[in-house]
């Protein structure tokens, strides 16, 4: 039984489709720009992905590399080599446009400023010019595993099994992921991805290791100033790495619960209405009429996160309901919804799902759900 009607976008968030989607999105954007002669010449070399801007001021790591070779060939690949690289030919034409294979595209979709390359307008990507820093990934990993390192804002607690706890030093909250060190052209990259349920999933951190000194590891992402990790000490042998709060399975795409929103389908609306009518006890208090919209995220482990409430009166103006009403509704979601609608026989989704529905009340009595 499924509670949600999923969209095509939801499928892109699965662990099977996400790497392929990132790869195709990257390639399609590379097929969409022209340059001045000087820009075309400046492109020659290797570029490493920094971020994709999937929404206004919302960025995701871009774990790819792009080679513009002097012999007019190009290659686009994923750092983790989870898909075969794509190759082709490129050329600068007399009208200053660039051709990729058999396609020539419109101008002004690329900005090159120094060693920073920005491509596209819809979900634009940022690259930086790659500078090799010879470093053995095994050496870097040996320094990280079983140890505690920290930057100015985040503490990294690396477990022996590849798990890493990212602890916010200000809020003292902690999320669980998996870490590894990957190699590209004899350089090392620290990659943090996944969630408490496994390594599969999108990437949280993608940094090149540019310094490996006594007590200090320097990491490069986009800014000229490296991120500095300082050694704190050994991870206690008996420490169990656990999240301190609800953790979505997504690290980037879909972090905002509204990004891939799912709504209750008609079949489960009837089941939900029946459930709430059975569990909800009317509250005999004056002026308890209006609508309450409940919204929450169910992650890939079937766990339910914080529940947000939008409470409106009969004129659809914001108002608070009696806590005996709102607390009851949230309690039903917490205590009855997972077992009664998702069921033990249902498979947990491969990605986070957002559930949204609205309840209508008249004089403290539940009358409808939509």
Segment 187-246, tens digit of pLDDT: 999 999 999 988 888 899 999 999 999 899 999 987 667 899 999 999 998 898 999 999
Q: Give 92's pLDDT tier (boundaries 50, 70, 90).
A: low
User: DSSP secondary-structure letter at 274?
Assistant: H
pLDDT score, position 216: 95
pLDDT score, position 256: 46
289 in any annotated domain:
yes
User: Is residue 71 within 8 Å of 7, Cβ to Cβ?
Assistant: no
301 in any annotated domain:
yes
Which pair of tokens denotes residue 339? 């077992």
251 in any annotated domain:
no
Query: Residue holding tokens 């920073």?
Result: 116
Domain shared by 273 and 230, yes or no: no
Give 282-332 pLDDT, tens digit per residue.
998 889 999 999 999 888 888 889 999 999 999 999 999 999 999 999 999
Across the range 12-26, mean pLDDT stands at: 42
Spatial distance between the Cα atoms of 329 and 88, rounded to a whole number of angstroms: 57
239 in any annotated domain:
no
User: DSSP secondary-structure letter at 302?
Assistant: S
Spatial distance between the Cα atoms of 255 and 4, rounded to a whole number of angstroms: 18
Number of domains in the chain: 3
Across the range 344-364, mean pLDDT stands at: 76
141 in any annotated domain:
yes
For 24-50, give the DSSP string.
Answer: HHHHHHHTS-B--HHHHHHT-EEEEEE
Domain shared by 124 and 14, yes or no: yes
139 φ/ψ angles, rounded to the nearest 5 degrees: -65, -45
Domain shared by 225 and 296, yes or no: no
Q: Give 39's pLDDT tier (boundaries 50, 70, 90).
A: low
Q: Mean pLDDT: which of 111-125, 249-263, 299-313 is highest?
A: 299-313
Q: Give 253's pLDDT tier (boundaries 50, 70, 90).
A: low
DSSP H helix total and E strand total for the chain: 7, 24
User: DSSP secondary-structure letter at 162?
Assistant: S
Asked if pLDDT for residue 357 goes beyond 70, the answer is yes
CATH label of the domain that carries residue 144: 2.40.128.570
pLDDT score, position 41: 60
- State the chain's mean pLDDT as an integer: 81
pLDDT score, position 93: 60
Q: Which domain holds residue 112?
A: 4-129
CATH label of the domain that carries residue 59: 2.40.128
Asked if pLDDT for residue 34 goes beyond 50, the answer is no
Predicted model pTM: 0.80
């Amino acid at each position: 039984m499924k509670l949600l009607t999923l969209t095509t976008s939801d499928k892109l968030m699965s662990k099977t489709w996400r790497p392929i989607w990132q790869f195709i999105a990257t390639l399609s954007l590379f097929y969409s720009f022209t340059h001045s002669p000087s820009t075309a010449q400046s492109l020659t070399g290797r570029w490493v992905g920094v971020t994709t801007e999937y929404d206004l001021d919302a960025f995701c790591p871009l774990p790819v590399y792009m080679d513009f070779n002097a012999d007019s060939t190009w290659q686009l690949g994923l750092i983790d080599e989870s898909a075969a690289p794509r190759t082709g030919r490129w050329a600068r034409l007399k009208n200053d446009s660039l051709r990729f294979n058999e396609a020539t595209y419109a101008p002004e979709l690329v900005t090159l400023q120094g060693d920073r390359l920005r491509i596209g307008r819809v979900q634009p990507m940022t690259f930086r010019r790659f500078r090799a820093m010879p470093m053995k990934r095994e050496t870097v990993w040996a320094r990280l595993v079983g140890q505690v390192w920290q930057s100015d804002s985040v503490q990294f607690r690396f477990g022996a099994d590849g798990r890493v706890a990212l602890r916010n030093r200000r809020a003292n909250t902690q999320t669980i992921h998996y870490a590894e060190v990957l190699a590209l052209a004899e350089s090392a990259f620290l990659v943090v991805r996944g969630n408490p349920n496994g390594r599969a999933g999108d990437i949280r951190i993608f940094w090149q290791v540019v310094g490996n000194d006594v007590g200090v590891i320097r990491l490069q992402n986009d800014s000229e100033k490296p991120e500095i990790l300082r050694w704190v000490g050994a991870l206690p042998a008996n420490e169990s790495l656990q999240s301190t709060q609800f953790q979505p399975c997504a690290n980037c795409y879909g972090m905002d619960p509204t990004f891939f929103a799912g709504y209750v389908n008609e079949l489960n609306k009837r089941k939900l209405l029946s459930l709430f009518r059975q569990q909800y006890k009317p509250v005999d208090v004056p002026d308890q009429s209006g609508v309450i919209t409940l919204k929450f995220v169910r992650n890939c482990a079937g766990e339910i996160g914080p529940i947000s409430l939008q409470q409106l009166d009969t004129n659809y103006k914001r108002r608070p309901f009696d806590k005996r009403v709102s607390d009851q509704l949230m309690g039903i979601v917490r205590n009855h919804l997972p077992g009664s609608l998702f069921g033990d026989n249902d498979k947990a989704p491969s990605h986070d799902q957002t559930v949204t529905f609205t309840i209508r009340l008249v004089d403290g009595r539940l009358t409808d759900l939509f």
